[in-house]
Homo-oligomer: A and B are copies of this chain.
Amino acid sequence: VHLDSTTQTSDGVCEQDFTLDGIPGVLWTPAGAAGTPAVGTAARPLVLLGHGGGQHKRGPALVARARRLVTALGFAAAAIDMPGFGDRPKTAEDERFVAEIAERRAAGEPVGARIARYQVARAGQAVSDWQATLDALADLGYPGPAGYWGVSLGTLIGVPLAAAEPRISAAVFGLAPHDALAEAAARIAIPIEFLLQWDDELVRRDEGLALFDAFASTEKTLHANPGRHAEIPEFELDSSERFFARHLKA
């Protein structure tokens, strides 16, 4: 892993870019806390932040969430660009898919199920990217425990990730349908907080409820709120923090 020399510190948060075999990422830590914790101290909990569709590792809401995890909980947070987003190239297939979705939207057709199938089918690369990132962050002194936060695209990738990766010990998911994720969800038994938008224009309500139902976790909690796909209320930011505080603190 290559940690960029440009480190920005502001308001108690240290923000460092990194690059790992072509995967661009960002690591947020409490200022002055970078590097390996002293021998005998517990590892600093880490939360991976999976961005949404059309977004990237440094979207404003994602950065705000990362900074809150650092300042309110003293955790580390990390984000990477998913394949085809942010600073990573789109394949010819990605370009065709983007054009297809734009056409369907213009025609007023539903697109949620199509997006879910496409992204889950290619989630293997993103899962490998996150696993390599976890290895690299462990080398930098952040071996976990690790939480994962990601809704919409962040869940289409995060559910296969959590099913494959035992280092993820708690996750916030949501805004995704059952159909494409049922098999992976059934293999997940870690604590889950699941966000559902009651008037989601991309994910049918019964599909979202069915995905919540599919997790094998004994502790899972569904938070449903009125509003469209992108309208998760502000207070859920606070709730996610408390969820991670419950499950990741020593």
Contacts and interface: CB of A to CB of B under 8 A. Distances in A.
Contacts of A242: 235, 238-239, 242
User: How many chain copies?
Assistant: 2
A198 to B, nearest CB: 7
A198 B223 CA distance: 12
A220 interface: yes
Contacts of A233: 219, 221
Interface in A165-209: 198, 209
Nearest to A222: B224
Contacts of A239: 239, 242
A246 interface: yes
Interface of A: 198, 209, 212-213, 218-226, 233, 235, 238-239, 242, 246
Contact of A223 (B222, B238, B246): B222
A220 B246 CA distance: 24
Nearest to A215: B226
B235 A226 contact: no
B235 A225 contact: no
A238 B246 CA distance: 11
B238 A212 contact: no
A221 B213 contact: no
B238 A224 contact: no
8 contacts: A198-B213, A209-B209, A220-B226, A222-B225, A235-B246, A239-B239, A239-B242, A242-B242
